[in-house]
Amino acid sequence: MVQRRGNIFTHIFLIFIIAVILFPVVWVVTTSLRRDEAAFSSKLFTSRLTLQHYRDLVAPEKNLPFLVQDLQAMISKVKPYDTWSEEELKDAVESSIEKVKAYLSETETRLNDAVNSFEKVDAFLNDHSEEIKNRTIEEMRELLSSIQIPDLSDSVENRAALYLVLSKERYNSTAHKALKELLERFTGVDTGTRDGYEKAIESLKESYEKLADGYDGLIKETQRELNAVKEEMSSLRQQYSALQDNVMEANLVIEKDIIPELERIKISLSELNNLREQIRQTALRSPFPVNDEEFSRNVSEAVQMLNKFLNEMGSFAEYDSLKNSLVELKKELTKLSEGSEDLRNRLLFSDLVKIYEELHPRLIRILKETAETIASIKDRIAVLNVLNERLKDLEIQEKDLTAKISEYQQKISEVQQKLLEPQRTLNLIVFRYELEKTISSLERVKAFKKTDLLRYSSALKTLRNFMNSYWKKDELYSRISRAVKEMRWIEEYRDFASKFDVFPENLKAILEEMHTSLSDLERSYGDFISLSSQGVYVSSSVLSRMYDIVKMDFVNKVRANMSVASRRAGNLIDLVPFSEVKKDLRNIDRELFRIDQIWKQKTKHYFWLWVLNSVIVSLIVAFITTTVCAIAAYPFSRMRFFGRRYGIMALLLIQMFPGVIFMIAIYDLLNFMGKYIPFIGIDTLGGLIFAYLTNIAYNMYLIKGFYDTIPTSLEEAAIVDGATRFQSFYKIIIPLARPILTVVFLLVFIGTFNEYVVARIILQNVRHYTYALGLQAFATGPYETEWGLFTAAALLGMTPMVILFLSLQRYLVSGLTRGAVKE
């Protein structure tokens, strides 16, 4: 007999895979039962369990905020109470007032229970304060005894290390007190005075500078030079930027103002030249020749100015547009000044001269403006070039100085690396001194009150600070970590006690004000309802104040501190080393959680309506799809017709494209159909069902493959016995194909039930949401941090699928040809 040996690695791998697969399920289940929020806890399992999330989903509680709002709606006689009679409203208001009283009474009772439990916990811990103190001191002393500090000789390295430790410490600081003996031994100076301490530090500084070989001073000097260079560079860059802005503004003036004006003047001069040619053709003469000396002088002046500009702009390659405008202007002016002798006697020549006299001032003004703009640009460009050269020199200096600092720092780093071990020894000496002071401070603890808790908190802070800066994971680190873990409950209790001391009095004041407001409401609600019944709109200011108390005063004065206290009480259940107080802590946590549920404003949801919508849509889609596929698959399996083989392949090919890519077309189709058939339109369940009826081809091919496995002889025998083709289909084929039809029905139901994208596009009204769409609403908006509610909704939403699967399970495993009697 051959015996097979199991492979241990295979089992380990399988266990790991199963754990990974089941982890999300375990997280969902545990989170749905947590009283604390998963977002605030790193633990997968907790002892703070509740079914409140399931209650909020299955049967939401009408707590105080709901009742106050409902009472306002009754008194104002608005929906859904607008059709109620006066007597019905009074009875409903009386019933709601009694419920409010019951909630207030329950709050008082639970608050008193929580306060009593807190007093028991506080009394117990004060009675055992000596035990707590002794346990903590013993832990500290064990930690102190485990600190092994080597002797430090009077060497240059140790002096330098001591300087690095004390150089940033003040006189009479903790580090000074811890290292005072060593400091005086190394320097021979009495450090009992400030002057002596500073003198000793200066003495140590000489040892450090000797070891550092002057690199420390070089770093400071080079850093000063580098800072000066950076400061100058920053100043020059600001100047450079300002000059660039000025040049850009000047360029904008040239482009937007000067060049367009020059173009307009050039056009005017061109028109004058055309007029000049026309004057040559005229016959009318003037008896007095026109004096054109002023005209010629003005034109000549303009041409000279243009020549000067063009010569000065020879090196300005980037101003070609301006140059071209000036050149064209010069051509027109030159042409205008040529051959005017034969025109002096022409009658119209005087008109030309007058027109130019009007144009000349504009021309001179724009030319002067151009000259000023070009001159300012030239000056600024010259300054920019100088600044640019200086910036390049400074950048080189900056690079060199940075490299020098890096080099010096590398040298200093090498020195400090040598001093690392002595510094650690000195830090251990300081830590030992702090531990001794902490033990001395804890020995003066007499009780477990606020001032005593501060001493414990200070001790814990000392341990944590040193642990965070400790350099290796050795036995000392493990002891410190264990001590921190052992003392953590004291810090939790301090926070818990500080929060618990604040809110009870505030809550009692709120309860008293609520009782007073409720008494006022009882005296007045009858008159309010009578007025509302007469058609007068009534709003109770008493109820408005009650809602403000619930919504604002409770939240601001009570809820924040109460929630922290509840969470800290839950943490203390696992941390506190005394089992005697765990029951009271659990009771505090339970009572505070219940008070919060009574006063908490809960967002309205339609969970069961969403589940019902999904069940209805999924059942209808699954039934229609299965029916259509069962009928459509039969011809492809049993009949022979043209296109039979490639027809189903074509349908499958179309099915390969996801339905989401057709959503625009489907959306437009539903929008069009909704105008004529309202129940099949956008934001309707009928329209969603229509959109889901797209997964036909794949399921039809699946059923067709199953039909092919059923012997045709069964149908032939039935036809021989007188059955029609349809009778043989639904009496022979359908019963035998029940397993595959069940599978298709289940697959379509599950796929439709969990579908999100199509539903998100089509549905808009929150009451029409499906389960998947509603579940997404639990993860955003007002439910964004309600992980317990989200996971509970996820688990409850699985119920229809589980029920359907279990009810159809026997069909899934039924025989292929059960009931066949003929071959």
pLDDT tens-digit map of 312-329: 776 666 677 888 888 888
Residue 616 has pLDDT above 60, yes or no: yes
Contact indicator for 525, 76 with CB cutoff of 8 Å: no
Arithmetic mean of pLDDT, 412-419: 82
pLDDT score for 43:
66
What pLDDT sits at residue 818? 40
SS3 79: coil
Percent of the chain beyond pLDDT 70? 90
Q: Is 90 helix (H, G, I), strand (E, B) or coil?
A: helix
Q: Taking 90 as the threshold, does the pLDDT of residue 507 lie above it?
A: yes
Give residue 539's pLDDT: 85
Q: Quick check: 120 pLDDT over 90?
A: yes
Of the listed ranges 66-70, 73-77, 207-211, 422-426, the least confidently predicted one is 207-211
Confidence of residue 815 (pLDDT cuts 50, 70, 90): very low
Is residue 304 very low, low, confident or very high in pLDDT (cuts 50, 70, 90)?
Answer: confident
| Residue 495 confidence (pLDDT) | 92
Q: C-alpha dihedral over 626, 632, 633, 638, to 10 degrees?
A: 140
Angle between helices 787-797 and 799-807 (to 10 degrees): 20
Helices first, then strands: H and E counts in the chain = 35, 0
Q: Collapse the DSSP code of 821 into the 3-class scheme (helix H, G, I; strand E, B; otherwise coil) and give the result.
A: coil
* Percent of the chain whose predicted confidence (pLDDT) is above 90: 21
> pLDDT at position 643, please?
66
Mean pLDDT of 356-385: 83
* Per-position DSSP letters for 580-601, written without gaps between them: GGHHHHHHHHHHHHHHHHHH--
Question: Predicted confidence band at 654 (pLDDT cuts at 50, 70, 90)?
Answer: low
pLDDT tens-digit map of 337-365? 775 566 666 667 777 778 878 888 888 88
Distance CA 64, CA 383 (A): 77
Q: Inform me whether the pLDDT recorded for 821 exceeds 60.
A: no
- Specify the pLDDT at position 816: 37
Which of the residue ranges 60-74, 288-302, 559-573 would you say has the lowest mean pLDDT?
A: 288-302
> Which residue carries 């059960």 as its tokens?
818
pLDDT at 331: 85
Handedness of CA 5, 10, 11, 14 (dihedral sign): negative
Flag the least confident range among 373-377, 693-697, 744-748, 794-798.
693-697
Q: Which of 243-257, 269-283, 607-621 has the lowest mean pLDDT?
A: 269-283
In this predicted model, what pLDDT tens digit does every residue of 159-195 receive, in sequence order?
A: 888 888 888 888 989 899 999 888 888 888 888 898 8
The DSSP annotation for 365-404 comes to HHHHHHHHHHHHHHHHHHHHHHHHHHHHHHHHHHHHHHHH
pLDDT tops 80 at residue 770 = yes
Q: Lowest mean pLDDT of 38-52, 124-138, 409-423, name the range.
A: 38-52
Owner of token pair 């007095």: 288
Q: What is the mean pLDDT of residues 744-758?
A: 89
Q: Where are the domains of the chain?
A: 1-50, 61-128+504-599, 242-410, 607-812
Query: 501 in helix, strand or coil?
Result: coil
Min mean pLDDT across 217-226, 351-360, 501-510, 537-546 is at 351-360
Q: Note the helical H segments in 419-536.
A: 420-443, 450-469, 475-500, 503-533
What was the pLDDT predicted at 107? 95
Least confident of 4-13, 746-755, 783-792: 4-13
Top mean-pLDDT range of 91-105, 757-771, 795-809: 91-105
> Largest Cα–Cα distance in the chain?
147
More confident residue, 616 or 409: 616
pLDDT of 703 strictly over 50 = yes
Q: 95: pLDDT confidence band, cut at 50, 70 and 90?
A: very high
pLDDT above 80: residue 751: yes
Burial class (CB in 10 A: 0-12, 13-18, 19+), 288: exposed
Structure confidence at residue 617 (pLDDT): 94
- 3-state DSSP call for residue 289? coil
User: Could you give the 3-state DSSP secondary structure of residue 302?
Assistant: helix
Confirm if 435 and 476 have CB atoms less than 8 A apart: no
CA-CA-CA-CA torsion for 550, 552, 558, 560, nearest 10 degrees? 120
**By three-state DSSP, how is residue 472 classified?**
coil
Which residue did the predictor score with more confidence, 665 or 66? 66
Residue 819 has pLDDT above 60, yes or no: no
Rg of the chain (C-alpha set): 47
Residues contacting 583, CB < 8 A, separation 6+: none
Q: Which of 203-217, 457-471, 481-495, 622-636 has the lowest mean pLDDT?
A: 203-217
CA distance 95 to 87: 12
Q: How far is CA 650 from the centre of its chain?
A: 46
| pLDDT at res. 822 | 38
The pLDDT value recorded for residue 610 is 92
* Mean of pLDDT values over 466-481: 85
Residue 256 confidence class, pLDDT cut points 50, 70, 90 = confident
Q: What is the mean pLDDT of the chain?
A: 84
Phi, psi of 536 (to 5 degrees): -90, 130
What is the average pLDDT across 632-653?
A: 74
- Compare 807 and 92 and report the one with higher pLDDT: 92
277: left (phi over 0), alpha (psi -120 to 50) or beta: alpha
Confidence at residue 635, expressed as pLDDT on a 0 to 100 scale? 84
Single out the residue of 740, 739, 733 nearest to residue 820, CA to CA.
Answer: 733
Whether domain 607-812 has CATH 3.40.50.280: the reply is no
User: In whole angstroms, what is the distance from residue 459 CA to residue 490 CA?
Assistant: 11
Residue 350 DSSP class: H
